[in-house]
Amino acid sequence: DLHRLCDADGVTVAQAMAALGLEPRRLAEARLAPGSVRAFVEIHVEQGTVLERAGCPIGVVTHIAAPTRYQVRVSGEAAHSGATPMNRRKDALAAAAEIVLAVERAAQDEAACGTVGTVGVLTVKPGAMNVIPGDVEMGIDIRSIDGESKKRAVQRILAAMEETALRRGVKITEKLLVDEEPVALSPWVQEQIRWAAERAGHRHMPIVSAAGHDAMHMARIAPTGMVFLPSRDGVSHNPLEYTDIEDVAAGAEVLFWTLWRLAEAQGEAPLEVEPLTA
């Protein structure tokens, strides 16, 4: 993947690492073995509105949703918009629009399981008002804390893509970019976070994370937990992102007491992880 994955400029992960003075070929030497870390705790803003609506300053994360992502290309036939009859068109954008709606329907059908679906990227070519779109590239993101629900949504979307291609006479190809499994965080670490919140005198509540975090990867090698803080209006990745300083202070206090509790705990931490695979 270091030599396969690249950014919009075609720079691979390996090239970017080398430019920073790192040695990609030695990456395996930096891998942490399961059990080499006693515990891992991450603090983060919620990026949602659950805590804000509940008036609760501390969220104890129980599960982290995982994404399945596809890069999809719809190839039709670019032609003059005025000279091409409606029944002779192979409109790539119209087909892509059907896929966007198929993603929405598939996610809505699985919404009770916390599954969501998004098409966040559409690149349309040739991009002229008087030309029927002949090529569309799109990015599909499906997330859930329920792995089976996510799989069902993905299968519905793939089936809809195949049906759309046949009916509209276009070619649709998909490339799987990411397919990760949802993560259940350590009950043992959650217990320490709850103790810390109560020790510091802050209200707390269980919550799931719909966004991915470092914690979901650290959970493969160590008992892992997360502390969430409220996000105003659920806005994140945006200049309007805001968390009240009092909530930040509460989170820092809970993180301190959690780490203290973990450091003082007697005996070995329970290793609730699966061995890493190559």
> Do 204 and 197 contact (CB within 8 A), yes or no?
yes
Q: Which long-range contacts (CB under 8 A, 24 or more apart) does 49-54 make?
A: 49/231, 49/233, 49/234, 50/207, 51/205, 51/207, 51/228, 51/229, 51/230, 51/231, 52/230, 52/231, 52/232, 52/233, 52/234, 54/205
d(CA 40, CA 188): 11
d(CA 183, CA 254): 22
Q: What confidence score (pLDDT) does residue 172 get?
A: 98
> Do 269 and 188 contact (CB within 8 A), yes or no?
yes
Q: What is the pTM of this model?
A: 0.80
Domain residue spans of the chain = 27-65+183-264, 66-179
Residue 234 predicted with pLDDT over 90? yes
Encoding tokens for residue 90? Answer: 């192979």
> Do 192 and 89 contact (CB within 8 A), yes or no?
no
Average pLDDT, the chain: 93
Neighbours of 128 (CB within 10 A): 12
d(CA 276, CA 278): 7
Residue 52 predicted with pLDDT over 60? yes
- Written out in words, the top-level CATH class of the domain with range 27-65+183-264 is alpha beta
Question: Which strand (E) or helix (H) includes residue 66?
Answer: strand 66-75
Residue 269 predicted with pLDDT over 80? no
Which tens digit of pLDDT belongs to each residue from 3-40? 888 898 999 999 999 999 999 999 889 888 898 888 99
Residue 61 predicted with pLDDT over 70? yes
Q: How far is CA 173 from the centre of its chain?
A: 22
Q: Can you name the CATH fold of 66-179?
A: Alpha-Beta Plaits (3.30.70)
Write phi, then psi, for 6 (nearest 5 degrees).
-145, 165
Provide the pLDDT confidence category of residue 267 given band limits of 50, 70 and 90.
Answer: low
Provide the pLDDT confidence category of residue 273 given band limits of 50, 70 and 90.
Answer: very low
